[in-house]
Structure 1
């Protein structure tokens, strides 16, 4: 068995164990008492307070059934089940200062781990992430890191939210239209309504559709083209999103983000 085949086998086994054993989703929630929700969903308690009813919706039931069927069919899904809600688990609701919206997870082996634009340690930088790091360096002088993991940003209060939280191996956008979009839209709605003085960083037309959910009188919205090599030179480079974010936070008396990943 090749190294890649072994990686896929282990990933599928882990994902299947999550789907069959951890019992985190709606089909299980329908059968338990509401007071047990906090012990059933692998989601930070601050987010459960705002989102627990979402797990009872018909669309989440359908999404759960879809993912279960995909696992049973032997398909490899990224990220690992334990990382579906990594963005929220690393950035609790009360700690959110900034929201960066992505589209869906990377679909290559070992890349996705639940944070938009981020890859796991030791994985080659995708082109968009490389451009983000270039802008980061040019904007605030941060050293370009050796690792592509943005976990430190998440811990600083940057919610790295993909609109779709899962993807099939090798098939970009395979899980679009399955129910994730409504769930993550709800996250943005809740943040918009319950918090003030957030910064929403929206790169590319897909992410910018989410701007309609944000009250610009309460929050700052920074929009630019996507950092993809296809568009980065047409309005991403030079937009200074990192320094603009900190300037806004400082003006509101909120602690700035330490963007340095080194």
Structure 2
């Protein structure tokens, strides 16, 4: 999500703000702990272990923010959910900015939201519109993209947390180093995944993905979708690239829940 989209969300003051301590963030305990408890796939451990101190510092920072009254999103146990896909099985990496800042929306996957969220986030509604135009797939009624995630689509935000009602609030708290390490590991694979870069903020990461096939366009936000996102046909292009590299294409249809 781009900072310019703040006005597209319900930014009402959240109620019942949860209070977290540093130990409540699973990554406070390090990469090995994350893998042993199912928060990330095992093959991410060598990537994240050198960042154990950074992850602990982020957890301490987030706990301090929580104690000062910030409503942190999403819940600590899903902040690293995207990395439950094994490094070796990532087929596509789609770069977002940060989680939706509306309480009840963020689920730890970029562009996705809880299945119960209505109306759909506007960027996601435009993604579904382009998917229908590109592949003839009927627009889904819900916002949960777990079916893409389980097929190897890494829906990765550049910050893995946000303050409710304050889009972009955590972009400079240390997540950048973590995300760059993740992207570098993907870029170094023998067969790198396809990079999906929607919007200028995501496209800043292009130099770190120099070995990946890259698909870049405008962001699907209502503020920019008509300036190059619509008609970009990313889904069929991704499947063509995957097929050409001997990979199974993605089934983009969102199942009902």
- TM-score category by the smaller chain? 0.7 to 0.9
Q: How many residues in Structure 1 have an aligned counterpart in Structure 2?
A: 243
1:161 maps to 2:164? no
Among 47, 53, 56, the residue aligned to 2:53: 56
Alignment of 1:56-75 (within 5 A): 56-57=53-54, 60-75=55-70
CA drift at 1:40 = 6.9
Among 114, 128, 139, the residue aligned to 2:108: 114
Alignment of 1:138-217 (within 5 A): 138-215=133-210
Alignment root-mean-square deviation, CA: 2.2
SS of the counterpart of 1:194?
coil
Alignment of 1:96-111 (within 5 A): 96-111=90-105
Q: Deviations over 1:177-235 (max 9, x none)?
A: 110012101110110012414110000000001111112xx421000011111111110
Partner Cα separation in structure 1 for residue 226 and residue 95 of structure 2: 20
Partner Cα separation in structure 1 for residue 232 and residue 36 of structure 2: 43
CA drift at 1:36 = 6.3
- TM-score, length of structure 2 as denominator length: 0.87
CA contact (8 A) 1:197 1:249 kept: no
Gaps of 5+ in 1: none
Q: Which residue of 1 aligns with 2:232?
A: 239
Q: Deviations over 1:15-66 (max 9, x none)?
A: x27x4346531xx45xxxx976744783221211322111234xx3432221
- TM-score, length of structure 1 as denominator length: 0.86
CA drift at 1:97 = 0.3
CA contact (8 A) 1:24 1:41 kept: no
CA contact (8 A) 1:12 1:76 kept: yes
Give the ranges of 4+ consecutive aligned residues of structure 1 lying more than 3 Å apart after TM superposition: 19-24, 34-42
Q: Which residue of 2 aligns with 1:24?
A: 27
Mark the structure with the bigger radius of gyration: 1
Gaps of 5+ in 2: 1-11
